[in-house]
């Protein structure tokens, strides 16, 4: 076993941190308050190469392996406090770029990937519906083949980046009698008649990442916009979820490191009863627990990424990492607030936002309960 990053990965990590700290944190309190997406930050990240990290160079990407990608996203999460921006970038990478790369025709890849990688276009995926979340494959959106077109009808909810999207990968059932085997994925471009944003949604956290509901009303899509084959929707969704569950929480590792350092520094400087609060075992214990959670989270996430780099499908390891890292980040944010006392609860200190942002980690990409169902299922339950 080799637990160390290479010299190149270390150097890249430092570069990402410097870029993120220098370019991505301006006016964040205001942007969070106003639910404002950081458009400039998105473009800067794209220019730096973040959106294209794991995409092959022939489509404009960086051609990084998954471990290097995780290393860079962890560094981004450490340097950039705008968890909403990072979430939007992750959604774009794992739910639009990766399915296109893995299932797109050469023509589709050439048409969309360079624009997504360069940040010129924003890609999203739309699976969740008002009546189907965890039970995603019971979706009601219908697709019907008519000559050289598909006609889509239905609605989608909780769609990240919806208002920014230039293209959406939408999941719909072509043959409900076949159940999940009837689900297919279609590429729908912005401006296609019958495709609209029906309602903007407001969130507790990740407020700088836009979200909305989508409506498809007799939306006509050219037959060549089918992604993969008819009926391959579940395979496409599973493949993108595997990447997403491993990589989307890499930035949480960086955020946990940042909260650990901020809290340690505060516990050293803040004095009560004539001594630094960090000298009280109850406070020092929280710092130790933050470190324990960070170390365990790193090991779980790196292992899942390493298994994928070996060509395996780490269903169990990705589910374990997803549950553990998302819950660890929430607990660490709570501890950070507690260590900062009343100041931690104030917006100005930028710690309460970390908790609001972290809470969604146990919901998106499959809830904690669903991950546990997957793990228990592998034990025959």
Catalytic annotation, residues = 244
Position among 75, 89, 159, 330 found at the interface with ligand FAD (CB under 6 A): 159
DSSP letter string over 215-259?
Answer: EEEEEEEEGGGEESSTT-HHHHHHHHHHHHHHHTTHHHHHHHHHH
**Least distance to ligand FAD from the beta carbon of 87, Å?**
7
Q: In this chain, which stretch among 20-28, 280-288, 335-343, 361-369 interacts with ligand FAD, using CB under 6 A?
A: 361-369
Q: Does 370 bind ligand FAD (CB under 6 A)?
A: yes
Cβ proximity to ligand FAD, 38 vs 349, nearer residue: 38
**Least distance to ligand FAD from the beta carbon of 51, Å?**
16
Q: Does 133 bind ligand FAD (CB under 6 A)?
A: yes
Number of H helices, E strands in the chain: 14, 10
Q: Does 134 bind ligand FAD (CB under 6 A)?
A: yes
Q: Does 238 bind ligand FAD (CB under 6 A)?
A: no
**Least distance to ligand FAD from the beta carbon of 209, Å?**
7
Position among 25, 102, 155, 367 found at the interface with ligand FAD (CB under 6 A): 367
* CA 148 – CA 222 distance, rounded (Å): 6
The tokens for 196 are: 């609209």
**Least distance to ligand FAD from the beta carbon of 89, Å?**
13
Q: In this chain, which stretch among 26-34, 40-48, 153-161, 278-286 interacts with ligand FAD, using CB under 6 A?
A: 153-161
Spell out the residues 6+ positions from residue 247 whose beta carbon is closer than 8 angstroms to its own. 66, 69, 70, 73, 90, 93, 94, 305
Cβ proximity to ligand FAD, 206 vs 304, nearer residue: 206
Q: DSSP character for 93?
A: I
**Least distance to ligand FAD from the beta carbon of 35, Å?**
13
* CA 225 – CA 184 distance, rounded (Å): 11
Cβ proximity to ligand FAD, 111 vs 367, nearer residue: 367
Q: Does 287 bind ligand FAD (CB under 6 A)?
A: no
Q: Does 245 bind ligand FAD (CB under 6 A)?
A: no
Cβ proximity to ligand FAD, 146 vs 379, nearer residue: 379
Whether 158 and 144 have beta carbons less than 8 Å apart is answered as no
Whether 184 and 121 have beta carbons less than 8 Å apart is answered as no
Q: Which helix (H) or strand (E) holds 322?
A: helix 315-339
Q: What distance lies between CA 303 and its chain's CA centroid? A: 18
* CA 122 – CA 102 distance, rounded (Å): 18
Strand partners, 199: 213
Q: Does 363 bind ligand FAD (CB under 6 A)?
A: yes
Q: Does 19 bind ligand FAD (CB under 6 A)?
A: no
Q: Does 88 bind ligand FAD (CB under 6 A)?
A: no
Q: Does 246 bind ligand FAD (CB under 6 A)?
A: no
Q: Does 364 bind ligand FAD (CB under 6 A)?
A: yes
Whether 352 and 338 have beta carbons less than 8 Å apart is answered as no
**Least distance to ligand FAD from the beta carbon of 36, Å?**
17
Position among 17, 76, 80, 126 found at the interface with ligand FAD (CB under 6 A): 126
Print the binding letters for residues 66-85 with ligand FAD: x by CB under 6 A, - otherwise.
Answer: --------------------
* CA 117 – CA 30 distance, rounded (Å): 28
Q: DSSP character for 200?
A: E
Whether 187 and 227 have beta carbons less than 8 Å apart is answered as yes
* CA 79 – CA 2 distance, rounded (Å): 26
Q: Which helix (H) or strand (E) holds 318?
A: helix 315-339
Q: Does 206 bind ligand FAD (CB under 6 A)?
A: yes
Q: Does 195 bind ligand FAD (CB under 6 A)?
A: no
If binding means CB under 6 A, how many residues of this protein chain bind ligand FAD? 20
By DSSP bridging, strand 123-126 and strand 167-173 are: parallel
Q: Which spans of this chain sit near ligand FAD (rule: CB under 6 A)?
A: 91, 124-128, 133-134, 158-160, 206, 360, 363-364, 366-367, 369-370, 373
């Amino acid at each position: 076993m080799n637990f160390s990053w290479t010299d190149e990965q270390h150097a890249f990590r430092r570069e990402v941190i410097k870029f993120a700290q220098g370019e991505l944190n301006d006016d964040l309190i205001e942007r969070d308050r106003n639910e404002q997406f950081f458009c400039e930050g998105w473009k800067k990240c794209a220019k730096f190469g973040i959106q294209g990290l794991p995409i092959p160079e022939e489509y404009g990407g960086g051609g990084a392996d998954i471990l290097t990608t995780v290393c860079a996203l962890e560094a981004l999460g450490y340097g950039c406090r705008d968890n909403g921006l990072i979430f939007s970038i992750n959604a774009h990478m794992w739910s639009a770029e990766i399915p296109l790369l893995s299932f797109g025709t050469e023509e589709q890849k050439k048409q969309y990937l360079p624009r997504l990688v360069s940040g010129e276009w924003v890609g999203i995926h739309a699976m969740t519906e008002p009546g189907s979340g965890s039970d995603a494959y019971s979706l009601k959106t219908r697709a019907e083949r008519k000559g050289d077109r598909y006609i889509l009808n239905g609605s989608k909810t909780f769609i990240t980046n919806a208002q920014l999207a230039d293209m959406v990968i939408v999941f719909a059932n072509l043959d409900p009698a076949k159940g999940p085997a009837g689900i297919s994925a279609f590429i729908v471009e912005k401006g296609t008649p019958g495709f609209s944003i029906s309602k903007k949604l407001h969130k507790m956290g990740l407020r700088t990442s836009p979200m909305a509901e989508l409506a498809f009303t007799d939306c006509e899509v050219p037959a060549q916009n089918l992604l993969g084959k008819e009926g391959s929707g579940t395979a496409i969704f599973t493949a993108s979820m595997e990447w997403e569950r491993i990589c989307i929480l890499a930035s949480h590792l960086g955020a946990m490191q940042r909260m650990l350092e901020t809290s340690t520094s505060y516990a050293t400087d803040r004095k009560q009863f004539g001594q630094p609060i960090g000298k009280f075992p109850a406070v020092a214990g929280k710092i130790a627990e933050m470190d324990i959670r960070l170390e365990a989270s790193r090991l779980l996430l790196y292992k899942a990424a390493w298994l994928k780099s070996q060509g395996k499908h780490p269903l169990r390891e990705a589910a374990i990492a997803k549950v553990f890292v998302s819950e660890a980040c929430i607990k660490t944010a709570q501890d950070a607030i507690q260590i900062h006392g009343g100041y931690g609860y104030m917006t100005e200190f930028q710690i309460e936002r970390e908790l609001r942002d972290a809470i969604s980690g146990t919901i998106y990409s499959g809830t904690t309960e669903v991950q546990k169902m997957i793990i228990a299922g592998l034990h025959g339950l």
